[in-house]
Amino acid sequence: MAQARFTQEGETAHVLVRNLAIGGLDYREYFKDKYCGRPFDTLEIRFDGEIFNCCPSLVPDSIGNAYGLNTADELKASPKLANSLDAILSQDFRYCRWLHCDLIMSDHLLKRAAALKTIYAPEFVMLSYDPTCNLRCPSCRTEKIVAKGAQQDQILKLTGQFVIPLLKGASYCMMNGYGDVFSSRACRRILEASNPEEFPNLKYGFITNGILFTRAQWQQFPGIHRMTRYIRISIDAARRETYDRLRLGGDWDILMENLDFISQLRRSGMIDLFDIHMVVQEDNFEEMVEFGRLGQRLGCDKVMYDPLMNWNSYPLDELKRRSVHAPDHPRHPEFLAMAKEVTRIMPSIAPMAGSHDKSLSAQQPQTVAILNFGALYRVVDVTYS
Ligand code: SF4
Ligand code: SF4
């Protein structure tokens, strides 16, 4: 049936959608002379040690496992890495999930140019291999996770042998994608080792729940004070009672105190960017506007809203009940109204303008919203300026 429909309507469907639905080679023409630099300069280590050279949700094939490698140079000899680079250089993008990639779907791939990169040299490093966290948010995990014993030893070995040497040649490091920077011994070891002399180009982006990000903690790591580009605090609520329900183990008063401290760091120019983040669900979507106002009061650069994802922490029916961003949720129209209201109180920009994008100026004159629902769930009438 899909085949018949595409045969009739094929001229109007996106060429990549049509190729995926009914086959064909038109995609070769679509990708001709196109290029993406991300697989040549990106390295992400997932919680299980698997390494990716793009976001794992966009290119799900790993290029190696960090626990099986002694040095970053061993990774450069990986046949899987060679294949993934070949997919870009031979212009078929065969490892990319075409319909999930904003660069592909919005036609923002680069034109091939003489100066394009052809060898792998990781500059943008995303670290998510230590799941240790001081909180246990129900949207993320079913119990508190703290690496111990043999697991801790393995994580620390990977940190000393593979990650720290790799960071000496990198220009950006984001941590922690699946835990908290300040509760992770591995992340703290990286922070202790960091200084502008040995890591001359490196800037950090921290994603943290903010509870341990105190003034005293910041003063413990003087090496990173001029190396911090970006701090994102995940909060998920604008009211104490909602926070207490969604961020188990957190403390609203400590969080507010720490947010004020980070706000001072941003206003003094010590850090370049300060964002707050909300995973939107039925329990908190009515606070989206208040959350935006909190970001404005703190002088944040961005207030980020993301949909609730399936991290296997909720049974499927519970996930569905909470997923107010899904078009078939009974309260979805209220969610859309709230999203529109957010764009009324502050300008919004496209989700693609992420932390890699240096054009997102550190001199941003006002707080902007990122409503990251566009690619998967169309938020009608919300336009990105
Ligand atoms: S999925 Fe998109 S960003 Fe990733 S390598 Fe492919 S084109 Fe580049
Ligand atoms: S603070 Fe972040 S990493 Fe920690 S449990 Fe909550 S969502 Fe997960």
User: Does pLDDT of 71 surpass 50?
Assistant: yes
For residue 55, the ligand 1 atom closest to its alpha carbon is 4
- For residue 103 and ligand 1, the question of a CB distance below 6 A is answered with yes
- State the pLDDT at residue 2: 57
Distance of CA 254 to the CA centre of its chain: 25
Residue 376 confidence class, pLDDT cut points 50, 70, 90: very low
Residue 14 lies in a domain: yes
Residue 12 lies in a domain: yes
Residue 207's nearest CA partner among 129, 105, 128 is 128
- State the pLDDT at residue 358: 42
Residue 89 lies in a domain: no
- State the pLDDT at residue 72: 83
63 against 380, higher pLDDT? 63
Residue 161 lies in a domain: no
Residue 44 lies in a domain: no
Domain count, the chain: 2
- State the pLDDT at residue 373: 85
Q: Which domain holds residue 342?
A: 303-385
Read off the pLDDT of each residue in 173-182 and give the average, rounded to a whole number: 94
Residue 14 confidence class, pLDDT cut points 50, 70, 90: confident
Ligand nearest the Cα of residue 137 is: 2
What six digits make up the tokens of 336? 């859309």
Mean pLDDT (the chain) is 89
Percent residues over pLDDT 90 in the chain: 75
- State the pLDDT at residue 166: 95
- For residue 375 and ligand 1, the question of a CB distance below 6 A is answered with no
Distance (Å, rounded) from C-alpha 122 to C-alpha 353?
20
- State the pLDDT at residue 26: 78
Ligand nearest the Cα of residue 175 is: 2
Residue 355 confidence class, pLDDT cut points 50, 70, 90: very low
Q: Which of 234, 258, 279 to probe ligand 2 with, by most ligand atoms within 8 A of CB?
A: 234
- State the pLDDT at residue 309: 87
Contact 238, 291 (CB under 8 A): yes
Residue 233 lies in a domain: no
Residue 330 lies in a domain: yes
